[in-house]
Structures are given as C-alpha cells and as structure tokens.
Amino acid sequence: MTQLPPVLERQPPEQVDPAGAAASQDWERLVAALIGLSPYRAVLLPLLPDITRIARANRQIGTALAAVERRADFARTGRLRRADLGPDRTALLGFLEYIRFACPDFLRSVGEWPVGGMRDRG
Amino acid sequence: MTEAEFCDVVVVGTGAGGGILAHRLARSGLRTISLEHGAMLPEDHFKTTLPPGVTRDFGIGPSTTWPSDPHDSLFVHPLFADGSVGSTARPKDGFRHFQVLAVNGLQNLWNGVSVRFSAEDFKSWPLSYADLAPHYGAVERLIAVCGTKEGLPDLPDGDYLPPKPLRPADRLVVDAVKSLNDGHSHAIPNRKAINTRAGTPTSCISTGMCTSGCPVGAVYKFSTRLLPQIAELPNYELRTQAKVVRLLRDGSGRRIEGVEYIELATGNRRHLRAGIVVLAAGALETPRILFNSADDADPSGLGNRHGRVGAGLQDNPKVVLSTSLLKLWGRRRDYDLGYGDLLILLSQGRLSNGTPFPFIGHAIHSAPDVPHYLTAMRFFPPFLKERLARMMFHSYVTLGLFCQGEATPGNRVRPGRSVDAYGVPQVEVDFTIPAASHQMMDAMTVWGRRVLRRASATMIYASRDNSGTGIHYAGTTAIAQDPRHGVVDADLKSHDFDNLYICDGGVIPELPDKHLTLTIMALADRLAGHLIETAKQQSVAA
C-alpha cells in the first residue's frame, strides 16, 4: 500500500526572531478569537498554530484578518464579536468551515484518512 | 553535451510535442538541444512541496478563496504562470490563458486523457487519419495509455494497458447512458496516459485526481519517462530557464539561423544556431515568438507572410455538471478509487438548425477531501451539514463535456502592447464565444442533466465556459497545404522557411471535440521521423 504522509509545515523554533514571534502571537490570539465564533471551535482550537500560519499565508484571509483586527481594535480590546467581521464574515467563517471538513478528524470519520492509504484498493 | 552553440535541431518547449521530439531526435543521434523557459521541478514536488488534495495545509494555498466556485478549483493552481512572465499579460477579463513554465509544461498538471481523433476529424487537414495512425500507436506504447478497445468509429481504438476497475458511481452513469438508448451515446472506460501496471515505481496509487500533479509520476510526463533515457546522451542537452525571445533569420533567405534566448539565471541573451528549429511552445507562445521575430523583410513576424499566424484561435467549449447521487448516500468506500475520471462519455447534440454535432466528456468520481460540496450546503445549519457531509461523502459525480471549437475571423492571438518581466513583448488575445458554441453548450447541458437524473442525481450544479479554461488551445499556426490558409504544410514545416517547423496545438486547424494532446504527440512522433529521414538523406548527399 502506498501512503502519502500528511504534511503540516511548522516553522522550526530556532528560526523565529523575537519581533516575528510577538507578531505571530498577536495573529494567533486573533485567530483564536475568530475560531471562538465558529460552530466548529471544539475541533479547530487544537489546530490553532497551523490555522494561524495558513491564514497568514493566504492572501484573502490574511487581508481580511488585518481588516477585522482594525475594525475590532483587537490589539487594545482583545475581543472579537460577530459584528466585527463585517463584509469579511463569509470568507473568514467559510475558511474555518472548510478546514473543519478537510481536517483529519472529519476525513477519518468517513474512512478517508490518512489520505492515500487504501485508495489503490478497496 | 557541452554548451554547444550549434546543434542539428533545437526544440523549443518540453511539453507534449517537445518531449516526444527530443526523445526520438536524441536517440537517433542528431545533436539536439531542448530549450525550456521554466526550471525543472524537484522530483518530489508533487509528493511533498505541492501534493494533491489536502495532504498539505488542508489543500489551502495563497490563492485559495472563499466562497469559491467548485468548478474553478483547478484554475488557481500555483504552477500556472502569471501575467508578469507568461505569453500574455493575463488581463482580468476575456480569454484566460493557462501556461505552466517548467519542464513538461502543461503536462505537469495533465489529466492524461489520450484519445485519437477520428477519420472525420481530419477532413480539413492535408493528411489523413491513416497517415497518423501508426504514430498514435507508437506514442501509446511509448507513454503507456490505459483503456479498452470498443470498436467505435468516432473514437478509434489504440494500444492499451488495462484500465482500473469501474466503481459504483461509474456503473450508475454507464447504466444511465445506456438507458438513453439513442444509438449514439456511449460510456466507456477512459483512455489515459497512466501507468496502471502494478508493482512499478510509477504505478498509479489511486489518488483520485490527476490534475493537481501526480505524486508518483504515474501520469506520463517527459521528465519522468523519456528524459531519463536521453539525459546522459552526449548528443542531447536540456537547457532550462532559457526563454526564447525570437528566431534569427539567416541572411534574407528562406532559412532560420537559430534562436535568441534569455538565460534567466544570468539575464544574458544568447544565440544558439541550429540546422533545424522546431517550435513546440504552445498555441499562444509559438505565435509570440514568431511575432517577436519580425524584421524588415517580414514586419508582421516570421512565418506570417499571409497573415495566418495567430488567426483561428480555438479552445473546447465545455460544460461541467456536479451532483450527489442519491443511490450512493450512506455508502462507505470498499473499492479502488482509481484516477478520478474512469469513464469517457460520447454523444451527439443538435444545433438549432438541426445540424448534429458530436461531443465527448468524462465522468469524475473521487473522494471530496477538498470540501467543495460546502458551497451547496451553505443554507444548512452546522449540525445538519456534518451529518449530510458524512452521508453523502462518497456520492459525488461530475460530468465534464467538451465540444468542437470554431475558427472565427475575430478570434486570434496578435502582438500585444505589454512586455513581460524580462522586457519581452507579450501577445494579446481577441476572443468572443461563437454563437454555435453557445448552442452546443446548451445541448450538452441538457444531455448531461438527463444522464445525471437517470443516475439518481439530487441537486445539479452546472457551469459552462469557452474563455480559455478548456486548456486545449489550437488553430493559431494551422496546418494547410495552401499557404493562404495556414502556417505549416503537411510535414509541419513553415510555408515561408525551409528549416522551421511547428509542433504544438497551434497546428490543429479545426479543433474537434476530442482532447488534442495525444494528437500533438503523434504529430511529434511523425515529425521526428521526417526530420531523422531528412537528416539521413542530407548526410548521404554530403
């Protein structure tokens, strides 16, 4: 059986500079608050570091998060309400919902994780 | 080969045509150089850097968007060149040109569908199906195509490996097509350039999709199958990151001296002289090179004395219909997922004036790791969405149907006003969907809906397009015996030059419904034989 191992890139800790680490933590707090607004938060919160990294790397979601951060004055208040998502709500909640249904937990529940395993035979 | 500045044959491009040509020419002993704009992707590119599906970062890349059109997912692949380096500037509206600038070209993301054109499809060509049939066979054996012999005149049989077994979803579609009982609709095992033999390093591992790159190289591409056989030959060289700017005329006569290219690693411009130049760069890139080669004697570009370069651009109009089949709800997978689209569909529609036209397509069934189905579930509450998603997970089927293109006077590639990041002028595309194509897409949609409903479809999501997303570009350097009607003759030689050949989708004068890639490869095999024979004769004469 050929199996493709799942790959989730994590940045090695030794490559993280202090300023970058602080910014990373700010992003992580914001994404955690966003996940708190999702009905799938119980499944998504354990994936927070990966979701944060992927969100930052995605042009649409990165831009939307920056807009939400400003709109909510998140750096000062540390709080996020649904109303703060504004016009970015569909994209941001869609992003989280996508991850919920593409994550190993869900795919395992339909017999399709690890990806690649068993696919070349029944 | 050392960095020779002269070779017998320079082949521009390493995709469908360029790969076959390089392989045969190099093995014949001719000093052959392939020039490729892009780089060689790492061997494990589709296994670790950019694996298909959700194995890396849930399948989310920098360009993924929400909400998204499920039928657009193929077109945001990061390998597609952007407007800063491609043949066109890729303006936001209008014709969308997809191009992969890397060794193998578009075949890095090739779905592998390998069908022969029928005898009828050659009616406007200066050669016949019989002329090309041996070359189809040679290519099928060389690259390994799976399929079955069916005896259908509209889709000639070839030499095949056994296909993977049909799955429950395929059987529902086959039964639905059979139930139409109209005499011209068929659903048969797909013909794809996939290694279905078990136990080899490139055996298909059934990822369920081929259009995001194959992690094991089961789908044919030059770099994994043919290049290893010639890479070490002393008479062959592959130069990557070599962007051809223009052709160089030999004096004022009917010969090309060679090509000028930019060595992208250094930015230096270099000249490479060649006895024969073959452009196999694609139906938009080849005209770009010819236009940019304009000189005082040919101010409209080389090979363009009759104004035919760029004219007649076509792509296959297509419709895509996706659904969940009720009969598969609650089903767990106990079958080999295979390579996604295991079925070819063939049928016939009618234009409003009653004229019949053929169309072809495939039925795709896979595991929806990437949850495109969420778009259709957007109005359901989360708890219901989860239950439905699980119940319907193995029930999705998509039909992609293609019909013929049409060469209209207005649809063309022409010299552009923009330049790329290297300062090289790009081309622009004028394209309007022909009226007949709209009618054909209407008819294909009706047929597709009928088939899906008979297969127990629930909601059907349909889309259609003829603005470049077929990625079967043709017609821009058409083959024709009369120089007033085309750019190359029956041997794919330029009407204007004695040592300039073209071998890509551009030479196909009228794009039939069928996928063009195998035909480009068969033409390349035929051209290689012609060039080898010509070289032998010249050698004897000398």
pLDDT digits (tens, 9 = 90+) for B399-451: 999 999 999 999 999 999 999 999 999 999 999 999 999 999 999 999 999 99
Tell me if A109 and B390 make a contact (CB, 8 A cut-off). Answer: yes
Say how many residues make up chain B.
542
- Find the mean pLDDT for residues B13-36: 98
Per-residue confidence (pLDDT) for residue A17, from 0 to 100: 58
- Residue B2: pLDDT band with limits 50, 70, 90: very low
- Per-residue pLDDT of B122-135, as tens digits, reads 999 999 999 999 99
Tell me if B56 and A9 make a contact (CB, 8 A cut-off). Answer: yes
Question: Considering only CB atoms, which chain A residues are within 8 Å of B371?
Answer: 98, 101-102
What is the percentage of chain B residues whose pLDDT exceeds 70? 99
Pairing, β B341-350 against β B186-189: antiparallel
Residue B69, min C-alpha distance to chain A (Å): 13
In angstroms, the CA B417 to CA B532 distance is 39
Over 50: is that where the pLDDT of A1 sits?
A: no
Q: Are B110 and B341 in contact (CB under 8 A)?
A: no
CB-CB neighbours of B421 under 10 Å: 11
Per-residue confidence (pLDDT) for residue B108, from 0 to 100: 98
State the pTM of this model. Answer: 0.94
Per-residue confidence (pLDDT) for residue A19, from 0 to 100: 60
Q: What is the 3-state secondary structure (H, E, C) of B419-437?
A: ECCCCCEEEEEECCCCHHH
Per-residue confidence (pLDDT) for residue B74, from 0 to 100: 85
Over 50: is that where the pLDDT of A12 sits?
A: no
- Residue B474: pLDDT band with limits 50, 70, 90: very high
pLDDT higher at B452 or A118: B452
- Out of A50, A91, A116, closest to residue B66 by CB: A91
Per-residue confidence (pLDDT) for residue A121, from 0 to 100: 53
- Per-residue pLDDT of B286-334, as tens digits, reads 999 999 999 999 999 999 999 999 999 999 999 999 999 999 999 999 9
Q: Classify B272 as helix, strand or coil.
A: strand
Q: Are B78 and B61 in contact (CB under 8 A)?
A: yes
Pairing, β B6-12 against β B268-279: parallel
Optimal mutation site among B45, B50, B54, interface A, most CBs of chain A within 10 A = B54
Q: Are B213 and B221 in contact (CB under 8 A)?
A: no
- Per-residue pLDDT of B178-235, as tens digits, reads 999 999 999 999 999 999 999 999 999 999 999 999 999 999 999 999 999 999 999 9
Residue A77, min C-alpha distance to chain B (Å): 27
Per-residue confidence (pLDDT) for residue B106, from 0 to 100: 98
In angstroms, the CA B108 to CA B100 distance is 8
Q: What is the mean pLDDT of chain B?
A: 96
Which residues partner with B161 through β-bridges? B146
Tell me if B332 and A112 make a contact (CB, 8 A cut-off). Answer: no
